Structure 1
């Protein structure tokens, strides 16, 4: 039982198409030209094509006259997104690989800036995969579709760049996109996802790696001061509008940065001046230090100089 299978509900005569697999026991079924419902797998049975043909003959129903197909595509090679009628109302969203390469792809929907993954697969040359189903009556609420893919062929001397394509459906262009879909050879609303594949420039990659290496070689880590003052007036120019949590966040970021640079530059010890106050910052520092590797021990710094307002950290 797969997405796209035509099924009959065992509890009645309704028929529909599986549009999604919700979990191991539930499928979503689109009842023809009407609505979509979740149904337990055990409550539906797949209708074989042979059965459908036999029933039509037995009931004296004449097959519908086949509509004339649109003109064949001029540029048929490529990767496509096709929306194919399953009924007058329901469309199967299908990825088509009409190329001589394997295509590794992922697909998803985007609604109001939120992404939801749909399907992923490896499509061999001249193959297809249904990724979702949409109702025409809901056209104004359709999401944008995102398809990411990369083309590959064993033994090929060329490495191609990955491609990300976003398809946004607009009525002004959607209904003009009706053509004969390659591979499927059915009329569909068709959108090409690829242009000419772009080969990866390995020389350019090598140059970028050399540049990154050169920048790394010229980079010199700056060790922090032996004594780091975490009082907020030492860290920002104006803190009058900052909340207590915002102040604490700035202080902890300064502490973390200084501690990491001290460890990276092989310092033996570092002092953090946090003040006595209500002890919140001191407790937060000690909480981090107690679970951080590379710390030999920590203790109150010289009381004659700092009172109880500083912590000395000995590094391994």
Structure 2
């Protein structure tokens, strides 16, 4: 049972499409492509005709030998996110791999409350995968979609950089993006996720991994300040257009960088000023510290100076 399967409710005659798989054996089903309800997986059954259709497609993809391309040059570019109409109201968010390479991908939603993973898988060449469904009537509430992927080909001679792409939906550009989607051969709201892939020089990687005196010569580690202020207005001049999740991500990146440099510089302690606020940043910092080797202990910094808005970290 997968996202995109058409199912029937065992307790009635209603039919719909699985739009999301939740925890505890619950799935979300869009009934008649209109409204969505949570249902136990035990209370729905995949409609036989559709199930056979999907299984046949999977079998053909798995057992039909792929025809060798007539041209010696392989297509490395052509990875898309397509929003495809399932009905006038319901859209299927679909990843398209129009290249001659396998694509290993993860996908997730970013909302103000944070990140939520959706799917991860390997997408074969010239293939597609539905990752979520969205209603047009809820357009203003749609999350940003975060897609991470890397291209690979068995026997290939190139190693490509991983790619992270965030797609934010805005009305003024969304409705202008409608065009014919490759592989699907349907009209869709189409967003290209890749540019020309960047090949990695494996010789340079070996040089970077080898610990040679030549590389170390002239390098001086810059230790962080004893007190690191993580308030967002200290990290970026204008944050008015940033979402809460984007601000939190930047603050955690700056925290992680300062912590790693402090440990590498053999500092005995460091203070991170995170403020009180809603406590999310403090909680995330202390969660990371609790799983980081090399930490003796951490505690609230001097309350007479910081209140509960800073964390003192003792390093080994």
Offset from partner CA, 1:218-257 (integer Å, 9 cap, x none): 8898899xxxxxxxxxxxxxx895258889x65xx56xx5
Alignment partner, residue 156 of structure 1: 156
Q: CA deviation at 1:48?
A: 3.8
Q: Are residues 1:87 and 2:87 paired?
A: yes
1:267-286 matched pairs, under 5 angstroms: none
For residues 137 and 221 of structure 1, the distance between their equivalents in structure 2, rounded to whole angstroms, comes to: 54
Alignment partner, residue 104 of structure 2: 104
Q: So what's the TM-score if we normalise by structure 2? A: 0.59
Q: CA deviation at 1:155?
A: 1.1
Alignment partner, residue 42 of structure 1: 42
Alignment partner, residue 257 of structure 2: none
SS of residue matched to 2:42: helix
Q: How many residues align?
A: 216
Alignment partner, residue 8 of structure 2: 8
SS of residue matched to 1:242: helix
Give structure 1 stretches of 5+ with no counterpart: 52-74, 225-238, 261-316
Conserved 8 A contact 2:148-2:164: yes
For residues 109 and 10 of structure 1, the distance between their equivalents in structure 2, rounded to whole angstroms, comes to: 30
Alignment partner, residue 312 of structure 1: none
1:1-316 matched pairs, under 5 angstroms: 1-23=1-23, 25-49=25-49, 78-112=78-112, 114-209=114-209, 214-215=215-216, 242=305, 253=313, 257=315, 260=316
Q: So what's the TM-score if we normalise by structure 1? A: 0.59
For residues 96 and 129 of structure 1, the distance between their equivalents in structure 2, rounded to whole angstroms, comes to: 7
Conserved 8 A contact 1:32-1:90: no
Change (3 A) 1:8 1:199: same
Give structure 2 stretches of 5+ with no counterpart: 52-74, 222-263, 269-301
Change (3 A) 1:218 1:188: closer
Conserved 8 A contact 1:76-1:182: no
Q: CA deviation at 1:41?
A: 2.3
Alignment partner, residue 229 of structure 1: none
For residues 12 and 182 of structure 2, the distance between their equivalents in structure 1, rounded to whole angstroms, comes to: 37
Aligned-CA RMSD value: 3.4
For residues 14 and 113 of structure 2, the distance between their equivalents in structure 1, rounded to whole angstroms, comes to: 36
SS of residue matched to 1:184: coil
Change (3 A) 1:244 1:99: closer
Offset from partner CA, 1:262-308 (integer Å, 9 cap, x none): xxxxxxxxxxxxxxxxxxxxxxxxxxxxxxxxxxxxxxxxxxxxxxx
For residues 119 and 131 of structure 2, the distance between their equivalents in structure 1, rounded to whole angstroms, comes to: 6
Offset from partner CA, 1:132-188 (integer Å, 9 cap, x none): 110010000000001000000111111000000110111111111112211111221
For residues 157 and 98 of structure 1, the distance between their equivalents in structure 2, rounded to whole angstroms, comes to: 20
